[in-house]
Amino acid sequence: MRHLLVIIFAFNLAHSALCQEKTSRDAKHLPKHIQTPVTESHARFKGTRVFCVISSEYKYQQHKGYYQKNDHQYIKVLDSELSNFVQARPYFIKERLENVNKMIISHYEDITLNGYDALYTESVNELGLSQIDVYFGDSSFIVTITAVCGKDDTDGKKELQNILQSVHYDKTVKADPLELANISIDMSITGFKHTATTYNVFMYAENGQDDAHNQSSNSLRFTFLREMVEGEIYDYFYWTKKGYEQSLRLKNKDITKTKINDFTAYVLETEIYNGEKFGILYQVVLVNNNDILTVVATAYDNTEDYLVKFKQTVETIKFH
């Protein structure tokens, strides 16, 4: 943008060129200020407090955690109270975003959305796709919206920009944390409270958000995986155990194939040691046709009691 203005002034086209630049800018990028009231055409992204006008062609992909129109065009929304925009904004430096996310940012701008401070970027991501990111919030929450389409797909980009311009945020909405899970599960057995939902990872802990950053908390999380055959499931466990071993000692590494209700289940049950405390790890991969759900539960206190409760909780899972 700044380079373009320099060229415009250099060619002495001040008034007419500025008008043309404004028209071009409005077509190419999001407006500086977005204030959108809710209409009958708005729909809420499940599991969030974000509303927008979006075509029914976008279908929610359970194991990917986003709404997808086709293989190269989709939109992700994350609404989190674990962090907040005020804390996060100093880390959203252009160079840092490029390095962390392996992207090349072509547009980087502070805007406002529904009265909230926001950051808006356009980039080419590591897959060579065009990507738009919008981050906004206040001192109590942060929303991240990522919209992706083909690099040279101008119609797709325009469509995504129109969706983003329709975004409305309603802080009063009480979203069901299991709304995106497509399952039911009885969390009253453990008494754990919802900690956070990050795309398709649903996290619960004994003290809820107070345990969000406690690595030794009694906790349970579940995640939908892509469709896999049996060999791939064992590979998944292999790499999962490798990840655990970076911070934990596992007493047992054997995977047991069994049945839980009518589902094929692959189970890892072991004592663990994190360098300070002994505990237990109970991980289950449930297979329901094309739906594959992994449940990871850990406890460092009352381990025998919690192991029983973890098993009882998994037995209550139903797919919808």
* Domains in the chain: boundaries: 32-169, 183-319
Burial class (CB in 10 A: 0-12, 13-18, 19+), 188: exposed
**Which of 162, 128, 167, 123 minimizes the C-alpha distance to 144?**
167
Q: How far apart are CA 267 and CA 251, in angstroms?
A: 14
CA 40 to chain centre: 26
Two domains, one topology: 32-169 and 183-319? yes
Q: Is the dihedral of CA 180, 181, 186, 187 positive or negative?
A: negative
SS3 track for the chain:
CHHHHHHHHHCCCHHHHHHHHHHHHHHHCCCCEECCCCCCCCEECCCCCEEECCCCCCEEECCCCEEEEECCEEEEEEEECCCCHHHHHHHCCHHHHHHHHCCEEEEEEEEEECCEEEEEEEEECCCCCEEEEEEEECCCCEEEEEEEECCCCHHHHHHHHHHHHCCEECCCCCCCCCCCCCEECCCCCCCCEEEEEECCEEEEECCHHHHCCCCCCCEEEEEEECCCCHHHHHHHHHHHHHHHCCCCEECCCCCEEEEECCEEEEEEEEEEECCCCEEEEEEEEEEECCEEEEEEEEECCCHHHHHHHHHHHHHCCEEC
Count, residues in the chain: 320
CATH class of the domain whose range is 183-319: alpha beta
- The pLDDT profile of the chain, 320 residues, written as one tens digit per residue, is 434 333 333 333 333 333 333 333 444 899 999 999 999 999 999 888 999 999 999 998 877 778 999 989 999 998 888 789 999 999 999 999 999 999 999 999 999 999 999 999 999 999 999 999 999 999 999 999 999 999 999 999 999 999 999 999 999 998 777 777 778 899 999 999 888 777 678 889 988 777 767 777 899 999 888 889 999 999 999 999 999 999 999 999 999 999 999 899 999 999 999 988 999 999 999 999 888 999 999 999 999 999 999 999 999 999 87
CATH class of the domain whose range is 32-169: alpha beta
